[in-house]
Structure 1
């Protein structure tokens, strides 16, 4: 355990809900390992080829149920952000200041990633790499950014949705779930092509609101509640997928007419209820375990680099493919064969090593917060709020454009012009507001 991790672990406030930090670390780690296991890449004289294991091995689709843990991440995000917002407002702050402060923690490592992709794409082109290979590499490395579009949106909406939660409580996620079902009905039964596009936001908001309810006790972590949610969610999940119209896989892959994440469906919400029940069920045991210095130190260490871990894990795949495939270090094998399955072990080990090296270089930007910039009571007026909304909107537009850009080659820096203008323009606007309204540094 490093000195900084030990220092932070020893000074954890006694009222902190350590179990939430554990769930966040488990969720992101599961996403990373799941992505690494789900990808296959082969190499021949025609170049690199790849896809999702879910396409060629149907038996792996049920395994996405424990690995699709984004609902768990939104759940703990709701819990943590409700706690943070309540504390911020209690100290005299306002909603705009909180949104600026909270989104900065997400956008700083994201900006570093996009800058790294641009530099890497430019260097690869100067070294003679094929444009098609650069386009595919940038697309693969930026896969995690689709999640940030939804998460940054729900974080920015937190002051409004938390106020709605205080008035209506659990009725909010119930209504949101009904709206998700209506979107599914419009798309699957009424054949409205874009009838469920709103589910990209509504479904994740529903899970996020459950985090609010857990935080303030409206969703009590009692055994009876936990067992009911776990059993009810799981039965609904089985009925909706095995019996009903939804696919078993909780991860999208090419060739499926209906996908459970693109856009999110009722089946994904059933999985979210199941995971919420399990999380509540294990809370007491988890908190007891985290009183031990060793486990809590590991959780603290992971959470220190949590965003970098998530953002750079697909870059590790790109580097691993270029280093290992077709070189004889890791021989090609038929995806799904016994030899290919056995090679998953050294494949994971190599990617873990590459990711560790990437974190050693880039995680410092996530941790480099400097003296705490407390925006309490400093962001007032119409214009700062309007500029904050414009900045976040531009950032989301840029990330969404990148998510939809596909594998084409988008120029020397690998990123579409629309992404460069929207995202980095939004970052500049948000940076201006933060600098203008941050308190002066202590002398």
Structure 2
């Protein structure tokens, strides 16, 4: 607590605290949403299974226009990435160094999750199947549920990889970049409506990039929090969303629902872009009072505390579900009331409280992977050949290795996310994808561990400063 209070007290007056609040609120909303809508049951064969209760809550679909908060997360990411890129450029550092710095915060905690899940999956398949009668399909399903957050993390890693290029395009072409991305999303939507799903796969990139670009405009001061800006965004976004969903062919829910097509979040559609525009209008509308409130010591301390482990919370919140369900099922204490009945709603309160305790335990164990300090390396790791050091410190090979490692990490995550939710996997996930991820993560760690030669223009201008995550 003393360390957190020190961090809060050292916050520069110029820092946009509202951005940190939005990040914390977005992740908290994702966690609570997944927990609240989790419907755990037994199938006809007596095996544990689960689904989203939203499938049975048609009255709640319009609420997802606000409850689907991943667009806010990407807008905040755009703001933070633009601020960080500006800081790195002032120091004379290049895009490769920026990318490697970002991986320390994103890949490290993710590696902890994947390695733990693979180890648990291996033990469960080797020992649990024999001793406890677990089925390999159940082991895979548990790992798949625990790794659900990796879907959005994969998309965000791709956006981060392209952020230096997209920010340069933003500075040169401005709103035209967003218009091109929106047009590409529209093309993908038309393809989906014509049953050409493979064409629409590009919307996983174009849609999130378009939303991420909004953060660039916000950071550069081109979207101030004045009524002449936020009113058109809010009203225009809401109007477009209503037309696209209530009149047009898009599903009403911004969270994917079984049987409703096209899904608005995987990949993003024009309807989700309209929702993002509306939400951004709300964000700008509330900025001034929120920023004033955040300059009070206690609210800001709470925001700092959540953000210090926010990625850990996001990564492990579905593992908390698997852990709690496993314990309750083993003790024969797992209630499975019918979804959206009175007993199901009453079960939500103890369910959320127990999940909070389960997640708190996981954060206490794995949060240090996110909170530990990562000082800039000053010495070459022992045993590393000089030829390797010279090679990776050359701009071109360093960039190629960094991008290649980024792609390997994302391919590894995709291999797990795209694999069937049930099946026989020794590690509970595809071994090839896991090894691909470890290879990419290892190369990124190696690149970060080798000190980069300091250019003459950087000397004396490398003091540490607090920058947005």
TM-score bin (small chain): over 0.9
Give the Å deviation of 1:186: 2.2
Query: Which residue of 2 is the match for residue 59 of structure 1?
Result: 59
Asked if the contact 1:183/1:196 (under 8 Å) is kept, the reply is yes
Counterpart selection for 1:396 from 399, 406, 410: 410
Deviations 1:245-286 (A, max 9, x none): 111111113333311012110000001001111111111111
Asked if the contact 2:250/2:271 (under 8 Å) is kept, the reply is yes
Counterpart selection for 2:337 from 328, 333, 336: 333
Query: Which residue of 2 is the match for residue 301 of structure 1?
Result: 305
Distance of 1:160 and 1:18 partners within structure 2: 26
Counterpart selection for 2:168 from 140, 163, 166: 163
Give the Å deviation of 1:379: 5.2
SS at match of 1:264: coil
Asked if the contact 1:103/1:156 (under 8 Å) is kept, the reply is no
**Equivalent runs, 1:73-92 vs 2, <5 Å:** 73-92=73-92
**Equivalent runs, 1:201-240 vs 2, <5 Å:** 201-240=205-244
**Equivalent runs, 1:24-423 vs 2, <5 Å:** 24-43=23-42, 46-125=46-125, 126-128=127-129, 129-188=134-193, 190-325=194-329, 327=331, 329-372=333-376, 380-423=394-437
Give the Å deviation of 1:51: 1.1
Distance of 2:183 and 2:249 partners within structure 1: 17
Asked if the contact 2:149/2:314 (under 8 Å) is kept, the reply is yes
Distance of 1:267 and 1:373 partners within structure 2: 45
TM-score by length of 1: 0.94
TM-score by length of 2: 0.89
Give the Å deviation of 1:439: 6.8
SS at match of 2:103: helix
Give the Å deviation of 1:195: 2.3
Query: Which residue of 2 is the match for residue 6 of structure 1?
Result: 5
Distance of 2:288 and 2:319 partners within structure 1: 37
Deviations 1:5-56 (A, max 9, x none): 1010000011110000000000000000011112100237612132111222
Give the Å deviation of 1:372: 4.4
Runs of 4+ in 1 over 3 A off after TM superposition: 325-330, 372-375, 437-440
Give the Å deviation of 1:409: 3.4
Asked if the contact 1:39/1:51 (under 8 Å) is kept, the reply is yes
Distance of 1:393 and 1:25 partners within structure 2: 27
Give the Å deviation of 1:227: 1.3
Distance of 2:83 and 2:331 partners within structure 1: 50
Asked if the contact 1:53/1:60 (under 8 Å) is kept, the reply is no
SS at match of 1:16: coil
Asked if the contact 1:103/1:155 (under 8 Å) is kept, the reply is no
Asked if the contact 1:27/1:70 (under 8 Å) is kept, the reply is yes
Asked if the contact 1:316/1:355 (under 8 Å) is kept, the reply is yes
SS at match of 1:51: strand
Asked if the contact 1:173/1:209 (under 8 Å) is kept, the reply is yes
Distance of 2:333 and 2:422 partners within structure 1: 29
Seen in structure 2, the aligned counterparts of structure 1 residues 373 and 310 have a Cα distance that, compared at 3 Å, is: farther
Using the TM superposition, name which of 357-366 and 220-229 deviates more. 220-229
Give the Å deviation of 1:70: 0.5
Asked if the contact 2:138/2:422 (under 8 Å) is kept, the reply is no
Distance of 2:343 and 2:393 partners within structure 1: 59
Give the Å deviation of 1:341: 1.0
Deviations 1:47-100 (A, max 9, x none): 213211122222232232222100000001000110001110111101100001
